[in-house]
Amino acid sequence: MKANGYYNHPRFPLEAGCGLIEEDSIAFTSDSGKTTETPSFPLEIFPKAIRDIIEALEEYENYNVDFTAASFLTVFAAAMGNTWSVRFMTGWISRPIIYMVLVGSPSCGKTPPLQQAVAPLLKLDGEYDMTYCKEMETYRRWERMSAKQRERHSLPEEMKMPKRKCHVVVDSTVEALIGALRDNPRGVLIYKDEIDSLLSNFNRYNGSDEGYFLSLFSGTPFKYSRKSNNEHIFLANPYCSIIGSTQPGRLDEQFGGKRMMNGFSSRFLKVYPEIDKMPSWNDTAMPDGVLEEWERIIRKV
């Protein structure tokens, strides 16, 4: 470990293949001392229907397979949320919580596959918002009525304020995230095109922000108190995945130093493929139904 706090690891050198720094080499040295090629994303983990979509996006849209597959994996996991878990042994239960960051130089094609992967969840959230607005309109109308008016319109004496249902959270404050987790026990996905907009705000208003995300990765229960309104929130099974992108030159600042020592950096899967040329336009049209199939899969999940 270097004393200057640079992102480093005693077993692996700082190579582009490890997602650490920007270099021409894509090889890294294993424990045996042998030099191997940087592995690409193992597409065989996906069922054929998803593999076909990823390969079609590569063929017709020139999407990088590693960026697309990593984005699809994270979004699929977020769609599952708390509905599935794995018990490795008594007391050791894990859920599909993923912290993912796509690493590459500007204009290398990180954003399009990320946007494509998240699109079905955002579309669902748009539908949820329409329902929420209607429910809030009904609630506000009920709130303005007197007891006699409610009785006259056959409305209940008590009515709970509607909760905003969502899959994706873009507000990076811990307070907003905790509220979303409370209202969505199935879980949420933090989606940041630039992950720095999340990391740079850590500890700005609350010195324990980073600690919350360390705990969230394990899905361990925790309590949160909002001093503003004296509200106490208990999350028994918090689920939160994270996905975003960054540039190679920002890795040391974002994941080095203390964040490497306390395990924060290790929680993030860093996808840093070797890209020898920037993606270009493709005149061949995408076959009908490819993107619709991805949306159908996510809605089913």
- Single out the residue of 28, 123, 84 nearest to residue 301, CA to CA: 84
Q: What tens digit of pLDDT does each residue of 56-65 get?
A: 999 999 999 9
Q: Quick one: three-class SS letters along 191-214?
A: EEEECHHHHCCCCCCCCCHHHHHH
Q: What tens digit of pLDDT does each residue of 110-129 get?
A: 999 999 999 999 999 999 99
Cα–chain center distance at 90: 28
CA–CA distance, 53 with 56 (Å, rounded to integer): 5
Domain regions of the chain by residue span: 16-129+165-300
Q: What tens digit of pLDDT does each residue of 87-117 get?
A: 888 778 889 999 999 999 988 889 999 999 9
Q: What is the pLDDT of residue 293?
A: 96
Q: What is the pLDDT of residue 281?
A: 73
Q: Can you tell me whether residue 190 is helix, strand or coil?
A: strand
Contact 42, 48 (CB under 8 A): no
Fold adopted by 16-129+165-300:
Rossmann fold (3.40.50)
Q: What is the pLDDT of residue 37?
A: 63
Average pLDDT, the chain: 83
Least confident of 15-29, 160-174, 185-199: 15-29
Q: What tens digit of pLDDT does each residue of 30-49 get?
A: 555 655 566 688 999 999 99
